[in-house]
Amino acid sequence: MEIRVFTTSEELARAAARRVAESLRQRPDVVLGLPAGRTPIGVYTELRRLAAAGEADFSSATAFALDEFVGIEHTHPASFHRFIREHLIEHVGLPHERFHGLNGAADDLQAECDRYEAAIQRAGGIGLQLLGIGGNGHIGFNEPASELPAPTHRVTLLDGTRRASAALFDGDVARVPREALTIGIGTILKAESVILLAEGESKAASVERMVRGPITPQLPASFLQAHRAVEVYLDRPAASRF
Ligand code: GLP
């Protein structure tokens, strides 16, 4: 893993956005895997600026959202599909028919996961996967467990993850869905490159275990040790356990 530590959140966002823009220059039809969450907001803001300045061209790119809550439509305020569309896709000229999200409100959730996995494979797999990390070491919604399914799948959320997501539901943890759909660890590991972003003291322990600990399904991000092209962008608090 290549670890990069930044003094400010702005520097981290600028560097990660430049890295994405570089990837678009090298391969205009790159397939991006994109997370929701607080951490990538600065990167998406910077990517909007680069796109407006003509320094990032998304017109031939494809993008897949990383995960979604079960039971909510893509128009719901807490939808990750909506989040990524509003923070990035609508503003950078990526054609909307090439932005894919998981439908958490599908009648048949297994069929939805299979459809999504097939769409990713049809697109040629993920070229550049951006990730955040949960305080418990999850990536996407791949929660710590005794084993981790490889492809896109349905998952039961842990209490801590539901509490951490309450802000998206007016602070009411009871309204946070108990399940989610997520791209699996196998799909993430098949991406050509991975950039993981982490900010803040609350991520320091899971970041340290991701980099130094054993590869274990109890810390899903540790599987990234098995990937040959992972860059980790950290602010100082997230890097404070090294
Ligand atoms: C969420 C999402 C992840 C995200 C992570 C960190 O639950 N499922 O995709 O990367 O937790 O979120 P944040 O960046 O808001 O800390």
Q: How far apart are CA 176 and CA 186, in angstroms?
A: 26
Q: What is the pLDDT of residue 100?
A: 98
- Radius of gyration (C-alpha) of the chain in whole angstroms: 17
Helix (H) or strand (E) holding 144: none
Of 81, 87, 100, 138, the active-site residue reads 138
Q: Is residue 172 flagged as an active site residue?
A: no
Residue 164 C-alpha to ligand 1 middle, in angstroms?
Answer: 9
Q: Whose CA is nearest to atom 12 of ligand 1?
A: 37
Q: Is residue 143 flagged as an active site residue?
A: yes
Q: Is residue 142 flagged as an active site residue?
A: no
Bridge partners, residue 164, by sequence: none
Q: Whose CA is nearest to atom 2 of ligand 1?
A: 140
Q: How far apart are CA 121 and CA 195, in angstroms?
A: 20
Bridge partners, residue 106, by sequence: none
Average pLDDT, the chain: 97
Q: Is residue 235 flagged as an active site residue?
A: no
Q: Long-range contacts of range 71-75, CB-CB < 8 Å, 24 or more positions apart?
A: 71/104, 71/105, 71/177, 71/179, 72/104, 72/105, 72/177, 73/104, 73/105, 74/101, 74/103, 74/104, 74/105
Structure tokens at 209: 């275990």
**Closest atom, ligand 1, to C-alpha of 202:** 16
Strand order in the sheet with 31-34: 2-6, 230-235, 193-198, 128-131, 31-34, 62-65, 99-100
DSSP type of residue 227? -
Helix (H) or strand (E) holding 31: strand 31-34
Q: What is the pLDDT of residue 242?
A: 80
Q: Which residues of 140-169 are buried (b: 16+ CB within 10 A; e: fewer)?
A: bbbbbeeebbebbbbbebbeebbebbeebb
Residue in 223, 241, 237 with CA at minimum distance from that of residue 1 = 223
Bridge partners, residue 65, by sequence: 34
Q: Which residues of the chain have pLDDT under 70?
A: none
DSSP type of residue 7? S
Q: End-to-end CA distance of the chain, in Å?
A: 14
Q: Which residues contact 205 (CB under 8 A, 6 or more apart)?
A: 135, 241
